[in-house]
Structure 1
Amino acid sequence: MAGRIRQEDRECPLSRTVEHVGEWWTLLLLHDLFDGYTRFDQFQENLGISSSMLTARLKTLVADGILERRPYQTNPVRHEYVLTELGRSLRPVIVAMAAWGNSRLAPHERSMILVDAETGEEVEPVVVDAGTGRRLDDSRAYVFTSGPAAGPEMRARYPR
């Protein structure tokens, strides 16, 4: 049945994450927020997004606890959008996605690079295991397994 969400998908942390931040405009909004943008007009001007789409995306991010909406002006009332702790925790994801995109380009084709703020040297972000420091890009060394809350479908997909 089209549009039906499988139980396995409701349990999957990747599916739940994509549900919250996987929409194209949402990722671009997060990028702008990490660059210091906080106001509706800034987002709209920078992204060229329609006001109705921007309003919907911002409302969803606030409802999901990723952003906080705060007044910055009283007459007339104007609001800004500020990343919550949960929202700030998405920065490594956005950085990793941008780095992945850059890795597919020749150095002279890159319009944006990540650098060390102190030295100005370009850096290569990688995802590592916090305990060992080992890179997680080896699909043979690291695999998913079912967790304690997994239902039958998830346990069948990821047996221990």
Structure 2
Amino acid sequence: MLGKTYESQVCSIARALELIGERWSLLIVRDAVFGGATRYSDFQRNLGVATNILKARLDGFVEAGIMRRHRYSEQPVLHEYLLTDKGRALAPALVALSEWGDRWATDGEPPILYTHSVCGSGITQQTTCAHCGLVNDPTEIQAVIGPGMPPERIPRNA
């Protein structure tokens, strides 16, 4: 999707960026997840994105399994773009990015609040330790080599 690859990076963040790392991509997914947008015309109207870019992003999402294309009209032939489980699973990442933006990139109060549709309470994205619970200090988070790291990429001193 980005026009460049991160083949030299063995990292799930880099892999995710390949699929959704471009700004229009994140906004399209945001509108689908939280705004219910499904039709090409919805995305185009809401975002004002150039048609060639929108088509490329939607086609890429279908190819990546983030959305599926569903024909809703025969005359003319029109499709809607429906999120798959893989696409809907991006919601927590979008909430986390929004919280970061509320804190570091927005003056004043948050422009959008996320709530639980069942009870109406606020939603937050939090980092938790499987043993200790909530982790509030980001300096306590470390990256360690996982089981998916190719053996040839593991530093000799690790």
TM-score (norm 2): 0.82
Residues 47/122 of structure 1: CA separation in 2 closer, same or farther (3 Å cut): same
Instruction: Give the equivalent residue in structure 2 for 1:96.
Output: 96
**1:24-57 Cα distance to aligned partner (Å, 9 max, x none):** 0000000000120000000000000011010001
The CA RMSD over aligned residues, in Å, is: 2.5
Residues 30/136 of structure 1: CA separation in 2 closer, same or farther (3 Å cut): farther
Which stretch of structure 1 is more off in the superposition, 93-102 or 109-118?
Answer: 109-118
Unaligned runs of 5+ in 1: none
How far apart are residue 75 of structure 1 and its match? 1.4
Question: 2:94 is aligned with what amino acid?
Answer: I
1:1-160 equivalent positions in 2, closer than 5 A: 5=6, 7=8, 9=9, 11-34=10-33, 35-104=35-104, 105=106, 108-129=108-129, 131-132=130-131, 134-151=133-150, 154-156=153-155, 159=158
Note if contact 2:65-2:87 (Cα within 8 Å) is conserved in structure 1: yes
Question: Matches of 2:136 and 2:7 in 1, distance apart?
Answer: 28
Residues 19/123 of structure 1: CA separation in 2 closer, same or farther (3 Å cut): same
Question: Matches of 1:56 and 1:71 in 2, distance apart?
Answer: 18
Note if contact 2:96-2:124 (Cα within 8 Å) is conserved in structure 1: no
- Give 3-state SS (helix, strand or coil) of 1:82's partner: strand
Question: Matches of 2:157 and 2:86 in 1, distance apart?
Answer: 28
Question: 2:86 is aligned with what amino acid?
Answer: L
Residues 153/143 of structure 1: CA separation in 2 closer, same or farther (3 Å cut): farther
Aligned residue pair count: 153
Residues 154/65 of structure 1: CA separation in 2 closer, same or farther (3 Å cut): same
Residues 6/120 of structure 1: CA separation in 2 closer, same or farther (3 Å cut): closer
Higher relative contact order (CA 8 A, sep 6+): 1
- Give 3-state SS (helix, strand or coil) of 2:154's partner: helix
Question: Matches of 2:90 and 2:148 in 1, distance apart?
Answer: 23
Residues 5/114 of structure 1: CA separation in 2 closer, same or farther (3 Å cut): closer
Question: 2:17 is aligned with what amino acid?
Answer: V
Note if contact 1:69-1:80 (Cα within 8 Å) is conserved in structure 2: yes
Q: Identity, % of aligned pairs?
A: 32
Note if contact 2:67-2:87 (Cα within 8 Å) is conserved in structure 1: yes
